[in-house]
Amino acid sequence: MQALVPMRREDFAEILNQQVTPDMPLVYLDNAATSQKPACVIDAVRNYYTHDNSNVHRGVHTLSARATDAFEEARASVARLINASTPSEVVWTRNASEAINLVALTYGASQLKEGDAIVLSVAEHHSNIVPWQLLAQKNGVELRYARLDADERVDEDHVAELMEDGKVKLVAIAHVSNVLGSTLDVPFVVDLCRKHGAKLLLDACQSVPHMPIDVQSLGADFVVASGHKMCAPTGTGFLWAKYETLDELMPPLYGGGEMIEDVSTTCSTYAKPPLKFEAGTPAIGEMIGLGRAAEYLMELDMREIHAYECELGAYLYERLAADVPNIRLYGPSPAAARASGSHASGLDRAALCAFTHPAAHANDLSTLLDSMSGIAIRSGHHCTQPLHKEALGVLGTARASLYFYNSPEEVDFFVKELNKVIDFFEEVAV
Protein backbone atom coordinates (compact mmCIF):
# COMPACT_ATOMS: atom_id res chain seq x y z
CA MET A 1 0.00 0.00 0.00
CA GLN A 2 3.00 2.31 0.40
CA ALA A 3 3.26 2.48 -3.41
CA LEU A 4 -0.14 4.17 -3.58
CA VAL A 5 0.72 7.88 -3.81
CA PRO A 6 -1.92 10.62 -3.43
CA MET A 7 -2.58 12.75 -6.50
CA ARG A 8 -1.54 16.43 -6.58
CA ARG A 9 -1.71 16.91 -2.83
CA GLU A 10 0.57 19.91 -3.23
CA ASP A 11 -2.30 21.77 -4.93
CA PHE A 12 -4.12 21.77 -1.58
CA ALA A 13 -1.07 22.46 0.58
CA GLU A 14 -2.32 25.51 2.44
CA ILE A 15 -5.42 23.86 3.91
CA LEU A 16 -4.20 20.27 4.19
CA ASN A 17 -0.86 21.09 5.80
CA GLN A 18 -2.36 22.92 8.76
CA GLN A 19 -2.79 21.73 12.33
CA VAL A 20 -6.23 21.94 13.90
CA THR A 21 -5.07 20.09 17.04
CA PRO A 22 -1.74 20.84 18.76
CA ASP A 23 1.01 18.56 17.46
CA MET A 24 -1.43 16.77 15.13
CA PRO A 25 -1.68 17.40 11.36
CA LEU A 26 -5.11 17.80 9.83
CA VAL A 27 -6.42 14.55 8.33
CA TYR A 28 -9.41 15.53 6.21
CA LEU A 29 -11.73 12.56 5.66
CA ASP A 30 -15.00 14.39 5.02
CA ASN A 31 -14.89 14.62 1.24
CA ALA A 32 -18.38 13.22 0.65
CA ALA A 33 -19.71 16.32 2.41
CA THR A 34 -17.45 18.75 0.56
CA SER A 35 -14.08 18.54 -1.13
CA GLN A 36 -11.15 20.89 -0.72
CA LYS A 37 -10.37 23.39 -3.49
CA PRO A 38 -7.06 23.40 -5.39
CA ALA A 39 -5.08 26.60 -5.71
CA CYS A 40 -5.94 26.94 -9.41
CA VAL A 41 -9.68 27.10 -8.63
CA ILE A 42 -9.16 29.70 -5.91
CA ASP A 43 -6.98 31.67 -8.32
CA ALA A 44 -9.65 31.54 -11.03
CA VAL A 45 -12.27 33.00 -8.70
CA ARG A 46 -9.83 35.63 -7.43
CA ASN A 47 -8.85 36.55 -11.00
CA TYR A 48 -12.48 37.21 -11.92
CA TYR A 49 -13.05 39.50 -8.96
CA THR A 50 -9.73 41.32 -9.29
CA HIS A 51 -9.58 41.72 -13.09
CA ASP A 52 -12.91 40.95 -14.81
CA ASN A 53 -15.66 41.72 -12.29
CA SER A 54 -18.71 42.69 -14.33
CA ASN A 55 -22.14 41.34 -15.13
CA VAL A 56 -22.48 38.79 -17.92
CA HIS A 57 -24.47 38.77 -21.17
CA ARG A 58 -25.64 42.34 -20.70
CA GLY A 59 -22.79 44.64 -21.59
CA VAL A 60 -20.64 45.51 -24.57
CA HIS A 61 -17.69 46.90 -22.64
CA THR A 62 -14.45 44.97 -22.19
CA LEU A 63 -14.96 43.68 -18.65
CA SER A 64 -18.45 42.41 -19.41
CA ALA A 65 -17.18 40.66 -22.54
CA ARG A 66 -14.34 39.01 -20.63
CA ALA A 67 -16.64 37.94 -17.80
CA THR A 68 -19.19 36.54 -20.25
CA ASP A 69 -16.52 34.61 -22.12
CA ALA A 70 -15.13 33.10 -18.91
CA PHE A 71 -18.63 32.28 -17.63
CA GLU A 72 -19.62 30.45 -20.81
CA GLU A 73 -16.21 28.79 -21.14
CA ALA A 74 -16.89 27.34 -17.67
CA ARG A 75 -20.14 25.86 -18.94
CA ALA A 76 -18.27 24.36 -21.89
CA SER A 77 -15.71 22.85 -19.50
CA VAL A 78 -18.41 21.11 -17.47
CA ALA A 79 -19.98 19.90 -20.72
CA ARG A 80 -16.64 18.37 -21.72
CA LEU A 81 -16.21 16.75 -18.32
CA ILE A 82 -19.51 14.87 -18.65
CA ASN A 83 -19.40 14.64 -22.48
CA ALA A 84 -22.60 16.60 -23.09
CA SER A 85 -23.37 17.01 -26.77
CA THR A 86 -23.52 20.80 -26.35
CA PRO A 87 -22.86 23.26 -23.50
CA SER A 88 -26.49 24.37 -23.90
CA GLU A 89 -27.50 21.14 -22.14
CA VAL A 90 -25.78 22.30 -18.94
CA VAL A 91 -27.99 24.44 -16.69
CA TRP A 92 -26.29 26.27 -13.82
CA THR A 93 -27.84 25.80 -10.40
CA ARG A 94 -26.73 26.59 -6.85
CA ASN A 95 -26.32 22.90 -6.03
CA ALA A 96 -27.80 19.48 -6.81
CA SER A 97 -30.74 20.18 -4.51
CA GLU A 98 -31.80 23.12 -6.67
CA ALA A 99 -31.26 21.03 -9.80
CA ILE A 100 -33.61 18.30 -8.54
CA ASN A 101 -36.16 20.90 -7.48
CA LEU A 102 -35.91 22.42 -10.94
CA VAL A 103 -36.79 19.10 -12.56
CA ALA A 104 -39.61 18.45 -10.07
CA LEU A 105 -41.17 21.89 -10.49
CA THR A 106 -40.90 22.04 -14.28
CA TYR A 107 -40.83 18.59 -15.85
CA GLY A 108 -42.59 16.93 -12.92
CA ALA A 109 -45.29 19.55 -12.55
CA SER A 110 -46.04 19.69 -16.29
CA GLN A 111 -45.63 16.05 -17.32
CA LEU A 112 -46.72 13.97 -14.32
CA LYS A 113 -50.31 13.68 -13.12
CA GLU A 114 -52.45 11.91 -10.57
CA GLY A 115 -52.21 8.16 -11.15
CA ASP A 116 -48.58 8.35 -12.23
CA ALA A 117 -45.84 7.02 -9.94
CA ILE A 118 -42.23 7.90 -9.15
CA VAL A 119 -39.70 5.32 -7.93
CA LEU A 120 -37.09 6.42 -5.40
CA SER A 121 -35.02 4.33 -3.02
CA VAL A 122 -34.95 4.26 0.75
CA ALA A 123 -31.26 5.27 0.50
CA GLU A 124 -31.88 8.65 -1.16
CA HIS A 125 -30.50 11.94 0.10
CA HIS A 126 -33.25 14.22 1.39
CA SER A 127 -32.65 16.39 -1.69
CA ASN A 128 -33.97 13.51 -3.79
CA ILE A 129 -36.96 12.82 -1.55
CA VAL A 130 -38.46 16.09 -0.35
CA PRO A 131 -38.97 17.72 -3.81
CA TRP A 132 -40.91 14.65 -4.95
CA GLN A 133 -42.96 14.62 -1.74
CA LEU A 134 -43.91 18.25 -2.41
CA LEU A 135 -44.84 17.34 -5.98
CA ALA A 136 -46.93 14.38 -4.75
CA GLN A 137 -48.81 16.65 -2.35
CA LYS A 138 -49.53 19.07 -5.18
CA ASN A 139 -50.53 16.81 -8.07
CA GLY A 140 -51.24 13.42 -6.51
CA VAL A 141 -48.42 11.32 -7.97
CA GLU A 142 -47.53 8.21 -6.00
CA LEU A 143 -44.07 7.72 -4.49
CA ARG A 144 -42.64 4.20 -4.33
CA TYR A 145 -39.44 3.31 -2.49
CA ALA A 146 -37.06 0.52 -3.47
CA ARG A 147 -35.64 -1.38 -0.48
CA LEU A 148 -32.08 -2.58 0.16
CA ASP A 149 -30.88 -6.05 -0.74
CA ALA A 150 -28.93 -8.46 1.49
CA ASP A 151 -25.65 -6.67 0.73
CA GLU A 152 -27.16 -3.30 1.71
CA ARG A 153 -27.29 -2.03 -1.83
CA VAL A 154 -30.37 -0.57 -3.49
CA ASP A 155 -32.33 -3.64 -4.60
CA GLU A 156 -32.56 -3.17 -8.35
CA ASP A 157 -34.84 -6.21 -8.69
CA HIS A 158 -37.26 -4.44 -6.35
CA VAL A 159 -37.07 -1.40 -8.63
CA ALA A 160 -38.17 -3.73 -11.45
CA GLU A 161 -41.07 -5.02 -9.34
CA LEU A 162 -42.22 -1.50 -8.53
CA MET A 163 -42.40 -0.70 -12.25
CA GLU A 164 -44.36 -3.75 -13.39
CA ASP A 165 -47.80 -2.09 -13.42
CA GLY A 166 -46.72 0.52 -15.97
CA LYS A 167 -47.64 3.53 -13.80
CA VAL A 168 -44.07 4.64 -13.10
CA LYS A 169 -43.13 7.66 -15.19
CA LEU A 170 -39.92 8.65 -13.42
CA VAL A 171 -37.15 6.90 -11.50
CA ALA A 172 -35.06 9.28 -9.36
CA ILE A 173 -32.15 7.57 -7.68
CA ALA A 174 -28.56 8.12 -6.57
CA HIS A 175 -25.79 6.90 -8.85
CA VAL A 176 -23.59 6.30 -5.78
CA SER A 177 -24.88 6.21 -2.20
CA ASN A 178 -23.35 8.78 0.14
CA VAL A 179 -23.70 6.33 3.08
CA LEU A 180 -23.62 2.78 1.69
CA GLY A 181 -20.89 3.46 -0.87
CA SER A 182 -22.78 1.29 -3.35
CA THR A 183 -22.98 2.08 -7.06
CA LEU A 184 -26.21 1.73 -9.00
CA ASP A 185 -26.30 -0.67 -11.94
CA VAL A 186 -27.29 2.13 -14.31
CA PRO A 187 -27.58 0.04 -17.52
CA PHE A 188 -30.02 -2.31 -15.76
CA VAL A 189 -32.19 0.59 -14.55
CA VAL A 190 -31.98 2.35 -17.93
CA ASP A 191 -33.30 -0.78 -19.61
CA LEU A 192 -36.18 -0.88 -17.11
CA CYS A 193 -37.04 2.74 -17.81
CA ARG A 194 -37.00 2.25 -21.56
CA LYS A 195 -39.13 -0.86 -21.25
CA HIS A 196 -41.78 0.97 -19.21
CA GLY A 197 -41.56 4.41 -20.84
CA ALA A 198 -40.15 6.13 -17.76
CA LYS A 199 -37.52 8.85 -17.41
CA LEU A 200 -34.43 8.42 -15.22
CA LEU A 201 -32.93 11.11 -12.99
CA LEU A 202 -29.52 10.32 -11.52
CA ASP A 203 -28.24 12.08 -8.42
CA ALA A 204 -24.58 12.09 -9.45
CA CYS A 205 -23.17 14.08 -6.53
CA GLN A 206 -21.00 11.14 -5.45
CA SER A 207 -20.09 9.98 -8.95
CA VAL A 208 -19.21 13.03 -11.08
CA PRO A 209 -16.29 13.96 -8.74
CA HIS A 210 -14.95 10.41 -8.57
CA MET A 211 -15.38 8.54 -11.87
CA PRO A 212 -15.70 9.15 -15.62
CA ILE A 213 -19.24 10.18 -16.53
CA ASP A 214 -20.41 10.20 -20.14
CA VAL A 215 -24.00 11.41 -20.25
CA GLN A 216 -24.37 10.48 -23.90
CA SER A 217 -23.73 6.79 -23.18
CA LEU A 218 -25.02 6.69 -19.61
CA GLY A 219 -28.65 6.60 -20.67
CA ALA A 220 -30.12 8.82 -17.95
CA ASP A 221 -32.52 11.63 -18.86
CA PHE A 222 -31.47 14.00 -16.09
CA VAL A 223 -28.13 14.18 -14.24
CA VAL A 224 -27.49 16.51 -11.32
CA ALA A 225 -24.32 17.31 -9.38
CA SER A 226 -22.96 19.80 -6.84
CA GLY A 227 -19.79 21.76 -7.53
CA HIS A 228 -18.56 21.90 -3.96
CA LYS A 229 -18.00 18.11 -3.93
CA MET A 230 -15.83 18.27 -7.08
CA CYS A 231 -13.17 20.83 -6.10
CA ALA A 232 -15.34 23.83 -7.00
CA PRO A 233 -16.72 26.67 -4.85
CA THR A 234 -19.83 26.28 -2.74
CA GLY A 235 -23.08 27.56 -4.19
CA THR A 236 -22.45 25.88 -7.55
CA GLY A 237 -24.01 22.93 -9.31
CA PHE A 238 -25.65 21.90 -12.53
CA LEU A 239 -28.43 20.01 -14.22
CA TRP A 240 -27.81 18.13 -17.44
CA ALA A 241 -30.63 17.03 -19.72
CA LYS A 242 -30.97 16.62 -23.46
CA TYR A 243 -31.57 19.93 -25.19
CA GLU A 244 -34.95 18.80 -26.54
CA THR A 245 -36.12 17.96 -23.02
CA LEU A 246 -35.02 21.34 -21.66
CA ASP A 247 -36.58 23.17 -24.61
CA GLU A 248 -39.84 21.32 -25.09
CA LEU A 249 -40.82 19.61 -21.82
CA MET A 250 -39.63 22.01 -19.11
CA PRO A 251 -41.21 25.46 -18.70
CA PRO A 252 -39.17 28.18 -16.96
CA LEU A 253 -39.27 28.10 -13.18
CA TYR A 254 -38.10 31.59 -12.22
CA GLY A 255 -39.01 34.81 -14.00
CA GLY A 256 -36.81 37.88 -14.29
CA GLY A 257 -33.82 39.21 -16.10
CA GLU A 258 -31.66 37.03 -18.33
CA MET A 259 -34.26 34.30 -18.95
CA ILE A 260 -36.33 36.36 -21.37
CA GLU A 261 -36.37 36.90 -25.10
CA ASP A 262 -38.90 39.74 -25.20
CA VAL A 263 -41.03 41.43 -22.53
CA SER A 264 -44.06 43.68 -22.89
CA THR A 265 -46.59 44.88 -20.34
CA THR A 266 -48.93 42.07 -21.31
CA CYS A 267 -46.73 39.03 -21.96
CA SER A 268 -43.21 37.69 -22.25
CA THR A 269 -41.35 35.20 -24.38
CA TYR A 270 -38.44 33.23 -23.04
CA ALA A 271 -34.83 32.60 -23.97
CA LYS A 272 -33.70 29.22 -25.18
CA PRO A 273 -32.02 26.76 -22.79
CA PRO A 274 -30.01 27.03 -20.70
CA LEU A 275 -30.65 30.74 -20.08
CA LYS A 276 -34.37 30.04 -19.86
CA PHE A 277 -33.71 28.54 -16.41
CA GLU A 278 -31.15 31.08 -15.17
CA ALA A 279 -33.06 34.17 -14.07
CA GLY A 280 -31.13 37.05 -12.58
CA THR A 281 -27.45 37.68 -12.04
CA PRO A 282 -25.75 34.33 -11.44
CA ALA A 283 -22.83 33.40 -9.18
CA ILE A 284 -20.40 34.42 -11.90
CA GLY A 285 -17.08 34.06 -10.10
CA GLU A 286 -18.15 30.82 -8.47
CA MET A 287 -19.24 29.28 -11.77
CA ILE A 288 -15.94 30.29 -13.32
CA GLY A 289 -14.40 28.37 -10.41
CA LEU A 290 -16.59 25.38 -11.24
CA GLY A 291 -15.37 25.45 -14.82
CA ARG A 292 -11.75 25.56 -13.65
CA ALA A 293 -12.44 22.64 -11.32
CA ALA A 294 -13.81 20.64 -14.25
CA GLU A 295 -10.67 21.39 -16.25
CA TYR A 296 -8.52 20.41 -13.27
CA LEU A 297 -10.27 17.05 -12.90
CA MET A 298 -9.82 16.37 -16.61
CA GLU A 299 -6.11 17.24 -16.29
CA LEU A 300 -5.81 14.63 -13.54
CA ASP A 301 -7.88 12.19 -15.68
CA MET A 302 -11.09 10.85 -14.15
CA ARG A 303 -10.01 7.28 -14.94
CA GLU A 304 -6.88 7.75 -12.85
CA ILE A 305 -8.86 9.34 -10.02
CA HIS A 306 -11.34 6.46 -10.03
CA ALA A 307 -8.64 3.79 -10.08
CA TYR A 308 -6.77 5.42 -7.20
CA GLU A 309 -9.90 5.83 -5.10
CA CYS A 310 -11.02 2.24 -5.69
CA GLU A 311 -7.75 0.99 -4.25
CA LEU A 312 -7.63 3.45 -1.37
CA GLY A 313 -11.32 2.96 -0.56
CA ALA A 314 -10.92 -0.82 -0.45
CA TYR A 315 -7.92 -0.36 1.83
CA LEU A 316 -9.98 1.83 4.18
CA TYR A 317 -12.78 -0.74 4.33
CA GLU A 318 -10.43 -3.66 4.86
CA ARG A 319 -8.42 -1.90 7.59
CA LEU A 320 -11.56 -0.98 9.50
CA ALA A 321 -13.05 -4.45 9.14
CA ALA A 322 -9.85 -6.22 10.19
CA ASP A 323 -8.40 -3.91 12.82
CA VAL A 324 -11.30 -2.28 14.69
CA PRO A 325 -13.01 -4.90 16.87
CA ASN A 326 -16.83 -4.83 17.00
CA ILE A 327 -17.16 -2.14 14.33
CA ARG A 328 -20.30 -2.26 12.18
CA LEU A 329 -19.65 -1.19 8.59
CA TYR A 330 -22.61 -0.33 6.36
CA GLY A 331 -23.06 -1.08 2.69
CA PRO A 332 -21.51 -3.84 0.61
CA SER A 333 -17.93 -4.94 1.06
CA PRO A 334 -15.63 -4.17 -1.90
CA ALA A 335 -15.93 -7.81 -3.00
CA ALA A 336 -19.73 -7.79 -2.72
CA ALA A 337 -19.91 -4.49 -4.59
CA ARG A 338 -17.90 -5.89 -7.47
CA ALA A 339 -20.07 -9.03 -7.57
CA SER A 340 -23.14 -6.72 -7.43
CA GLY A 341 -25.82 -9.37 -7.07
CA SER A 342 -27.62 -11.07 -9.91
CA HIS A 343 -26.67 -8.45 -12.50
CA ALA A 344 -22.92 -9.10 -12.08
CA SER A 345 -22.05 -5.69 -13.44
CA GLY A 346 -18.76 -5.45 -11.58
CA LEU A 347 -19.49 -2.19 -9.77
CA ASP A 348 -16.89 -0.59 -7.54
CA ARG A 349 -17.52 0.59 -4.02
CA ALA A 350 -17.11 4.30 -3.35
CA ALA A 351 -14.14 5.42 -1.27
CA LEU A 352 -16.16 6.00 1.89
CA CYS A 353 -17.19 3.97 4.93
CA ALA A 354 -20.12 4.64 7.25
CA PHE A 355 -19.94 2.81 10.56
CA THR A 356 -21.10 2.54 14.15
CA HIS A 357 -19.48 1.11 17.26
CA PRO A 358 -21.17 -0.03 20.48
CA ALA A 359 -18.65 1.86 22.62
CA ALA A 360 -19.86 5.33 21.67
CA HIS A 361 -22.32 7.40 19.69
CA ALA A 362 -21.15 8.43 16.22
CA ASN A 363 -21.11 12.12 17.22
CA ASP A 364 -18.86 11.36 20.19
CA LEU A 365 -16.46 9.36 18.04
CA SER A 366 -16.28 12.22 15.54
CA THR A 367 -15.80 14.87 18.24
CA LEU A 368 -12.91 13.10 19.94
CA LEU A 369 -11.20 12.18 16.68
CA ASP A 370 -11.16 15.87 15.87
CA SER A 371 -10.14 17.20 19.28
CA MET A 372 -7.59 14.49 20.12
CA SER A 373 -6.20 13.61 16.69
CA GLY A 374 -7.06 16.33 14.18
CA ILE A 375 -9.14 13.92 12.08
CA ALA A 376 -12.20 15.32 10.31
CA ILE A 377 -14.98 12.81 9.67
CA ARG A 378 -18.75 13.29 9.40
CA SER A 379 -21.35 12.01 11.86
CA GLY A 380 -25.15 12.01 11.90
CA HIS A 381 -27.75 10.85 9.41
CA HIS A 382 -25.95 12.43 6.40
CA CYS A 383 -29.30 13.77 5.09
CA THR A 384 -30.57 10.18 4.76
CA GLN A 385 -32.95 9.76 7.69
CA PRO A 386 -35.19 7.15 5.99
CA LEU A 387 -32.12 5.03 5.24
CA HIS A 388 -30.86 5.18 8.81
CA LYS A 389 -34.14 4.87 10.67
CA GLU A 390 -36.15 2.58 8.40
CA ALA A 391 -33.53 0.43 6.66
CA LEU A 392 -30.46 0.33 8.91
CA GLY A 393 -32.22 0.71 12.26
CA VAL A 394 -29.87 3.37 13.64
CA LEU A 395 -30.22 7.10 14.21
CA GLY A 396 -26.85 7.97 12.74
CA THR A 397 -23.45 6.76 11.63
CA ALA A 398 -19.90 8.04 11.49
CA ARG A 399 -18.47 8.35 7.98
CA ALA A 400 -14.94 8.61 6.66
CA SER A 401 -14.76 9.59 3.01
CA LEU A 402 -11.69 9.90 0.78
CA TYR A 403 -10.57 11.83 -2.28
CA PHE A 404 -7.61 11.57 -4.60
CA TYR A 405 -5.41 13.72 -2.33
CA ASN A 406 -5.79 11.37 0.66
CA SER A 407 -3.09 8.79 1.38
CA PRO A 408 -2.76 5.25 2.78
CA GLU A 409 -0.81 6.77 5.67
CA GLU A 410 -3.85 8.89 6.57
CA VAL A 411 -6.01 5.76 6.54
CA ASP A 412 -3.54 4.01 8.84
CA PHE A 413 -3.47 6.99 11.21
CA PHE A 414 -7.26 7.17 11.23
CA VAL A 415 -7.64 3.48 12.13
CA LYS A 416 -5.03 3.77 14.88
CA GLU A 417 -6.62 6.88 16.38
CA LEU A 418 -10.14 5.45 16.08
CA ASN A 419 -9.04 2.49 18.19
CA LYS A 420 -7.61 4.89 20.77
CA VAL A 421 -10.89 6.80 20.95
CA ILE A 422 -12.87 3.56 21.26
CA ASP A 423 -10.54 2.39 24.05
CA PHE A 424 -11.13 5.69 25.85
CA PHE A 425 -14.90 5.29 25.77
CA GLU A 426 -14.70 1.66 26.85
CA GLU A 427 -12.51 2.61 29.79
CA VAL A 428 -14.88 5.40 30.81
CA ALA A 429 -17.82 2.98 30.63
CA VAL A 430 -16.06 0.64 33.05
User: Which residues are known to be catalytic?
Assistant: 383
CA distance 365 to 400: 12
CA distance 421 to 132: 40
Helices 302-323 and 284-300 pack at an angle, to 10 degrees, of: 80
- Residue among 364, 355, 369 at smallest CA distance from 418: 369
**Antiparallel, parallel or unpaired: β 24-25 and 19-21:** antiparallel
- Cβ neighbours for 55, distance < 8 A, ≥ 6 positions apart: 64, 67, 281, 284
CA distance 150 to 161: 17
